[in-house]
Structure 1
Amino acid sequence: MEKREAGELANQLRLKIGLTWEDLASAISRPPVWTAAAILGFHPIPADQARAVAELLGLEDDAVTAMQRQPYRTADDSLRSDPTIYRFYELLQVYGPAIKELIHEEFGDGIMSAINCNVELGRVAHPDGDRVRVTIEGKFLAYQW
């Protein structure tokens, strides 16, 4: 079984059983955003946590093995057509250059790590309709010359 195939199956079973991503995250003591990304195939899941997910969802051993494999982290341009994902591309097109300038002004010459980072998602009540809050906290990596 391929890694992404195991993720799709796990997600289908999660929905069928009625578990949330938060439920699965709590079961393996990981953050919800990391858990969803890992189960969907974008991170390797440690063996004990992969087995815990499999027990909750009723997955076979081949899915447990697939979830533990190192993923290919390549761009999938077809995702850009999804309205939710596209808005993140749009946000970075508009605000990316400003964020880059502000990072350099605050920290110096370097980048924010997307490998050593935390991502959290939350809901914020607002009179015009609830807001989505996405917090990304990444380690600053100074360029070394």
Structure 2
Amino acid sequence: MKTAPTQTPSCCKADSLLTKEQMTERIISAKVKKQLTWTALAEQVGVDEVWLASACLGMNSMKHDLAEKLCAVLELPAEVLTALTVFPHKRWSFEIPQDPLIYRLYEIVGVYGETLKEVIHEKFGDGIMSAIDFSMTVGKEENPAGDRVVITLNGKFLPYKSW
């Protein structure tokens, strides 16, 4: 499982500061050991499951109180709590991912990205969808022909300014 590589700011370097990758390894290990799902963890921490998974995989930071709840549930040490609260550097490899599920999401954007851009511009004007003022849900739709994955992306529209 890949997480975003991080660089620790010089102000925060310490021998005991975990990288986001080390943090993620400890969280996943504890989650598996306790046989918890992201949904169950999210309910205990009081947050959305998608956001929680993202933070635990190193792509978002947590407020101290949420990190404290998560670490209590998973019985993780303070160094994991600290790493959870550090702001991430959101970078990823430009290589095409090999995991089939992640590759399919890249494929969707590759095939439909320009289409989405055209339709969004027609409906909203020139601008972008925010990935900051944003939420995402993952659902399951039962279907006799095979269950369906329902991914909802909900981002605020940000119009470009005209000068």
Which TM-score band applies after superposition, normalised by the shorter structure? over 0.9
How far 1:87 sits from its partner (Å)? Answer: 0.4
- For structure 1, the 5+ residue unaligned runs are none
Aligned-partner Cα distance in 1 for 2:115–2:55 = 30
How far 1:59 sits from its partner (Å)? Answer: 0.7
Name the residue aligned to 2:97. Answer: 80
Name the residue aligned to 1:48. Answer: 65
Distance 1:22 1:79, change over 3 A: farther
Extract structure 1 runs of 4+ deviating beyond 4 A.
none
Question: Are residues 1:107 and 2:131 paired?
Answer: no
How far 1:28 sits from its partner (Å)? Answer: 2.0
Question: Are residues 1:127 and 2:117 paired?
Answer: no
Aligned-partner Cα distance in 1 for 2:27–2:96 = 20
Name the residue aligned to 1:98. Answer: 115
Aligned-partner Cα distance in 1 for 2:83–2:136 = 24
Q: After superposition, what is the alpha-carbon deviation per residue over 1:24-63, rounded to whole angstroms, capped at 9, x for unaligned? A: 1112221110010001111111101111111111111111
The answer on whether the counterparts of 1:79 and 1:85 sit within 8 Å (CA) in structure 2 is no
Higher fraction of helix: 1
Name the residue aligned to 2:3. Answer: none
- Count, aligned residues: 145
Question: Are residues 1:58 and 2:78 paired?
Answer: no
Instruction: Note the aligned Cα RMSD (angstroms).
Output: 1.1
Question: Are residues 1:38 and 2:55 paired?
Answer: yes
Which amino acid letter does the alignment assign opposite residue 104 of structure 1? H
Q: After superposition, what is the alpha-carbon deviation per residue over 1:66-122, rounded to whole angstroms, capped at 9, x for unaligned? A: 010000100224571111111000001111111100000000000111111110001
Q: TM-score, normalised by structure 1?
A: 0.95
